[in-house]
Structure 1
Amino acid sequence: MKKKIHPENYRPVVFKDINNEKILICRSTVKTKETIKIKGVVYPLYKMEISSYSHPFFTGEKRFVGKTGPAEKFRKKYEKYNKNKKSK
Protein backbone atom coordinates (compact mmCIF):
# COMPACT_ATOMS: atom_id res chain seq x y z
CA MET A 1 0.00 0.00 0.00
CA LYS A 2 1.09 3.54 -0.61
CA LYS A 3 2.16 5.42 2.48
CA LYS A 4 0.63 8.69 3.73
CA ILE A 5 -2.56 8.51 1.61
CA HIS A 6 -4.84 6.78 4.12
CA PRO A 7 -6.48 8.47 7.11
CA GLU A 8 -4.73 7.94 10.43
CA ASN A 9 -7.78 8.29 12.69
CA TYR A 10 -9.43 4.89 12.25
CA ARG A 11 -11.13 3.97 15.50
CA PRO A 12 -14.04 1.80 16.67
CA VAL A 13 -17.33 3.66 16.15
CA VAL A 14 -20.87 2.65 17.11
CA PHE A 15 -23.36 2.98 14.25
CA LYS A 16 -26.91 3.05 15.65
CA ASP A 17 -30.06 2.57 13.55
CA ILE A 18 -32.58 5.01 15.05
CA ASN A 19 -35.56 3.05 13.66
CA ASN A 20 -34.99 -0.07 15.73
CA GLU A 21 -32.13 0.81 18.13
CA LYS A 22 -29.81 -1.88 16.67
CA ILE A 23 -26.08 -1.13 16.86
CA LEU A 24 -23.01 -2.10 14.89
CA ILE A 25 -19.45 -1.48 16.03
CA CYS A 26 -16.80 -1.16 13.34
CA ARG A 27 -13.73 0.91 12.60
CA SER A 28 -14.34 4.21 10.85
CA THR A 29 -13.08 7.76 10.40
CA VAL A 30 -16.57 9.32 10.54
CA LYS A 31 -16.78 12.52 12.60
CA THR A 32 -19.23 12.35 15.52
CA LYS A 33 -20.40 14.66 18.29
CA GLU A 34 -22.00 12.07 20.57
CA THR A 35 -20.61 9.13 22.52
CA ILE A 36 -22.10 5.96 23.96
CA LYS A 37 -20.89 3.61 26.68
CA ILE A 38 -21.11 -0.12 25.91
CA LYS A 39 -19.76 -2.70 28.37
CA GLY A 40 -17.70 -0.04 30.13
CA VAL A 41 -16.07 1.27 26.94
CA VAL A 42 -16.91 4.73 25.55
CA TYR A 43 -17.30 4.84 21.76
CA PRO A 44 -18.10 7.65 19.33
CA LEU A 45 -21.77 7.35 18.26
CA TYR A 46 -23.09 7.84 14.72
CA LYS A 47 -26.88 7.70 14.30
CA MET A 48 -28.28 6.40 11.00
CA GLU A 49 -31.83 6.71 9.71
CA ILE A 50 -31.67 3.43 7.85
CA SER A 51 -29.39 0.40 7.82
CA SER A 52 -29.54 -3.22 6.77
CA TYR A 53 -31.41 -3.87 10.03
CA SER A 54 -34.34 -1.68 8.94
CA HIS A 55 -34.16 -1.38 5.13
CA PRO A 56 -37.12 -3.13 3.43
CA PHE A 57 -34.83 -4.85 0.91
CA PHE A 58 -32.96 -6.67 3.68
CA THR A 59 -35.88 -7.23 6.06
CA GLY A 60 -38.38 -8.40 3.42
CA GLU A 61 -40.93 -6.05 4.95
CA LYS A 62 -43.30 -4.33 2.57
CA ARG A 63 -44.06 -0.71 3.32
CA PHE A 64 -46.94 1.25 1.88
CA VAL A 65 -45.75 4.33 0.07
CA GLY A 66 -48.34 7.08 -0.30
CA LYS A 67 -49.96 7.77 -3.65
CA THR A 68 -48.28 11.13 -3.90
CA GLY A 69 -44.81 10.52 -5.20
CA PRO A 70 -42.50 13.20 -6.59
CA ALA A 71 -44.20 13.19 -10.01
CA GLU A 72 -47.67 13.64 -8.51
CA LYS A 73 -46.48 16.47 -6.26
CA PHE A 74 -44.93 18.23 -9.27
CA ARG A 75 -48.12 17.80 -11.29
CA LYS A 76 -50.28 19.28 -8.50
CA LYS A 77 -47.87 22.17 -7.95
CA TYR A 78 -47.95 23.29 -11.60
CA GLU A 79 -51.55 22.34 -12.35
CA LYS A 80 -52.73 25.92 -11.79
CA TYR A 81 -50.34 27.23 -14.47
CA ASN A 82 -51.76 24.83 -17.06
CA LYS A 83 -55.32 25.98 -16.24
CA ASN A 84 -54.31 29.62 -16.81
CA LYS A 85 -52.80 28.79 -20.21
CA LYS A 86 -55.90 26.86 -21.35
CA SER A 87 -58.27 29.66 -20.39
CA LYS A 88 -56.36 32.29 -22.43
Structure 2
Amino acid sequence: MKKDLHPKVYETQVRCACGYEFVTRTAIGPELGIEICSHCHPFFTGEQRFIDSAGRIDRFRKKYAGLNK
Protein backbone atom coordinates (compact mmCIF):
# COMPACT_ATOMS: atom_id res chain seq x y z
CA MET A 1 0.00 0.00 0.00
CA LYS A 2 1.08 3.54 -0.65
CA LYS A 3 2.11 5.75 2.26
CA ASP A 4 0.02 8.82 3.16
CA LEU A 5 -2.86 7.67 0.94
CA HIS A 6 -5.49 7.20 3.64
CA PRO A 7 -6.81 9.99 5.88
CA LYS A 8 -5.91 10.03 9.56
CA VAL A 9 -8.61 8.39 11.69
CA TYR A 10 -9.44 9.85 15.11
CA GLU A 11 -11.25 8.49 18.14
CA THR A 12 -14.02 11.10 18.09
CA GLN A 13 -16.18 12.22 21.02
CA VAL A 14 -19.59 13.09 19.52
CA ARG A 15 -21.89 15.38 21.53
CA CYS A 16 -25.52 15.88 20.58
CA ALA A 17 -27.61 18.94 21.44
CA CYS A 18 -29.89 16.68 23.53
CA GLY A 19 -26.95 15.80 25.81
CA TYR A 20 -26.20 12.31 24.53
CA GLU A 21 -22.50 11.55 23.99
CA PHE A 22 -20.75 8.62 22.33
CA VAL A 23 -17.33 7.72 20.94
CA THR A 24 -16.71 6.62 17.37
CA ARG A 25 -13.96 6.79 14.78
CA THR A 26 -13.97 9.45 12.05
CA ALA A 27 -11.60 11.38 9.83
CA ILE A 28 -13.14 14.70 10.92
CA GLY A 29 -11.30 15.29 14.20
CA PRO A 30 -11.18 14.48 17.91
CA GLU A 31 -14.48 16.26 18.78
CA LEU A 32 -17.75 16.68 16.91
CA GLY A 33 -20.95 18.51 17.84
CA ILE A 34 -24.24 17.51 16.22
CA GLU A 35 -27.82 18.81 16.50
CA ILE A 36 -29.74 15.54 16.34
CA CYS A 37 -28.84 11.89 17.00
CA SER A 38 -30.54 8.50 17.18
CA HIS A 39 -31.64 9.18 20.78
CA CYS A 40 -33.62 12.30 19.90
CA HIS A 41 -34.56 11.82 16.19
CA PRO A 42 -38.31 11.20 15.70
CA PHE A 43 -37.71 8.22 13.40
CA PHE A 44 -35.93 6.32 16.17
CA THR A 45 -37.93 7.57 19.17
CA GLY A 46 -41.41 7.28 17.63
CA GLU A 47 -42.50 10.68 18.93
CA GLN A 48 -42.69 14.01 17.17
CA ARG A 49 -40.69 16.90 18.58
CA PHE A 50 -40.09 20.28 16.99
CA ILE A 51 -36.57 21.63 17.33
CA ASP A 52 -36.99 25.35 16.85
CA SER A 53 -33.67 27.12 17.05
CA ALA A 54 -34.61 30.28 15.17
CA GLY A 55 -38.18 30.88 16.39
CA ARG A 56 -39.67 29.91 13.02
CA ILE A 57 -42.55 27.93 14.51
CA ASP A 58 -43.60 30.81 16.78
CA ARG A 59 -43.42 33.31 13.90
CA PHE A 60 -45.54 30.99 11.71
CA ARG A 61 -48.19 30.53 14.43
CA LYS A 62 -48.28 34.29 15.12
CA LYS A 63 -48.61 35.12 11.42
CA TYR A 64 -51.45 32.68 10.74
CA ALA A 65 -53.21 32.80 14.13
CA GLY A 66 -56.27 34.63 12.77
CA LEU A 67 -57.05 32.11 9.99
CA ASN A 68 -58.75 29.58 12.28
CA LYS A 69 -61.73 31.89 12.90
Aligned counterparts, 1:2-17, within 5 A: 3=2, 5-7=5-7, 9-17=8-16
Establish whether residue 59 from structure 1 lines up as the match of residue 45 from structure 2: yes
Supply the distance in 2 between the matched residues of 1:64 and 1:14 (Cα, whole angstroms): 26
Q: C-alpha separation between the residues in 2 aligned to 1:64 and 1:57?
A: 13
Q: Is the 8 A contact 1:17 1:53 kept in 2?
A: no
User: Structure 1 residue 6: deviation in Å?
Assistant: 2.5
Report if aligned partners of 1:16, 1:24 keep a CA contact under 8 Å in 2: yes
Partner of 1:23: 21
Kindly, what percent of the aligned residue pairs are identical?
33
Evaluate the alpha carbon distance shift between residue 10 and residue 53 of structure 1 in structure 2; reply closer, same or farther with a 3 A threshold. Answer: same
The answer for unaligned runs of 5 or more in structure 2 is 52-56, 61-69
1:18-56 CA distances to partner (integer Å, 9 max, x unpaired)? 12x11110111114xxxxxxxxxxxx2211001111100
Q: 1:60 to 1:48 in 2, by over 3 A?
A: same
Aligned Cα root-mean-square deviation (Å)? 2.7
Name the residue aligned to 2:66. none
Q: Report the TM-score when normalising by structure 1.
A: 0.48
Counting strand residues as a fraction of each chain, which structure ranks higher? Answer: 1
Q: Number of paired residues?
A: 54
Segments of 4+ in structure 1 off by > 2 A? 2-6, 63-66
